[in-house]
C-alpha cells in the first residue's frame, strides 16, 4: 500500500508525518528540478502555511548554499517543483518544514535520502527547528509504515517521553535544533539514481 515505507532510489523523496482528523499518517514530499529561471511550483492541494514552508526551505538553502557545497548560481538556472501526494486531500500547516528542506537539499545535491527515516518539524528562515503537534499519533503511524528512525525538534522530546516505551522500543529518535543537523542525519553521501 502507498502508506508504507518507500524506497530511496530517487533524489528528493522524503517521508514526513501528518496528523489528521483520522489519526497519524505518513506523507511523502517529492521535489524535482528542471531547466528554468528559479521559479518555485507547489502542488498537492497545499494550504498557504504549507506553501510558506516550501518557500522558507528554498530560501534557507539559497542563503546556506556554502554549507551544502552548492554553487549559488544553480538556484537561478533551475525551476523547482515540490509536490505532496495525494492531490485529493487538502493539506496545511507548518510541520512539513524539515521534510521539505530535506527534499530540496536532496534534489539540489542529488544525495540519496537515508532509508527508513521519517521526520516532522517546523522550520524558520534562520534554520531553527520548532516543535509541532500530534506527535504520539504521528509516531504510531511511522511505526506502522516500517520507519526505524525519526527526526524531531528538541522541544518535542517531552512528547516522546510521555509515550509508553513499549510502543516505541524499535524506533530511534533524533532531537534537533537546527536544519543543518537534520540534513546531516537524513542525507547520505551516496548519489541518487539519475
Q: Which residues bind a copy of itself (CB under 8 A)?
A: 1-2, 10, 12-13, 28, 30-35, 41, 43-45, 48-49, 52-53, 55-56, 59-60, 62-63, 72-73, 75-76, 81-83, 85-88, 93-94, 97, 122, 124-126, 128, 130-131, 155
Which residue in 160, 139, 130, 142 sits closest to 56, CA to CA?
A: 130
- The residue (of 14 and 139) whose beta carbon lies closer to a copy of itself is 14
- The residue (of 49 and 140) whose beta carbon lies closer to a copy of itself is 49
Asked about 95 being catalytic, the answer comes back as yes
Sign of CA dihedral 16, 150, 13, 26: negative
Q: How far is CA 176 from CA 1, 123, 166, 169, 173, in A?
A: 30, 11, 23, 20, 10
- The residue (of 56 and 152) whose beta carbon lies closer to a copy of itself is 56
Closest approach of a copy of itself to the CB of residue 77, in Å: 12
Active-site entry in 31, 95, 107, 153? 95
Q: In whole angstroms, what is the distance from residue 127 CA to residue 117 CA?
A: 20
Active-site entry in 91, 112, 136, 138? 138
Closest approach of a copy of itself to the CB of residue 21, in Å: 16
Asked about 138 being catalytic, the answer comes back as yes
Closest approach of a copy of itself to the CB of residue 143, in Å: 22
Residues 6+ apart with CB under 8 A from 119: 14, 15, 16, 17, 98, 99, 102, 150, 151, 152, 182, 186
- The residue (of 62 and 114) whose beta carbon lies closer to a copy of itself is 62
Closest approach of a copy of itself to the CB of residue 185, in Å: 21
Which residue in 3, 10, 24, 33 sits closest to 113, CA to CA?
A: 10
The residues annotated with a catalytic role in the active site are: 95, 138
Amino acid at each position: 500500500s502507498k502508506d508504507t515505507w518507500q524506497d530511496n532510489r530517487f533524489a528528493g523523496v522524503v517521508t514526513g508525518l501528518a496528523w489528521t482528523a483520522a489519526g497519524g499518517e505518513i506523507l511523502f514530499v517529492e521535489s524535482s528540478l528542471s531547466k528554468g529561471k528559479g521559479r518555485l511550483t507547489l502542488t498537492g492541494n497545499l494550504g498557504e502555511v504549507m506553501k510558506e514552508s516550501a518557500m522558507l526551505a528554498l530560501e534557507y538553502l539559497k542563503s546556506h548554499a556554502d554549507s551544502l557545497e552548492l554553487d549559488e548560481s544553480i538556484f537561478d538556472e533551475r525551476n523547482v517543483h515540490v509536490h505532496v501526494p495525494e492531490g485529493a486531500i487538502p493539506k496545511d500547516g507548518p510541520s512539513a518544514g524539515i521534510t521539505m528542506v530535506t527534499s530540496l537539499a536532496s534534489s539540489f545535491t542529488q544525495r540519496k535520502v537515508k532509508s527508513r527515516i521519517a521526520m516532522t518539524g517546523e522550520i524558520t528562515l534562520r534554520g531553527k527547528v520548532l516543535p509541532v503537534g500530534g506527535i504520539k499519533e504521528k509516531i504510531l503511524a511511522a511505526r506502522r509504515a516500517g520507519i526505524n528512525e525519526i527526526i524531531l525538534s528538541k522541544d518535542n522530546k517531552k512528547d516522546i517521553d510521555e509515550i509508553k516505551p513499549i510502543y516505541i522500543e524499535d524506533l530511534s529518535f533524533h532531537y534537533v535544533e537546527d536544519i543543518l543537523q537534520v540534513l546531516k542525519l537524513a542525507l547520505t553521501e551516496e548519489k541518487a539514481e539519475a
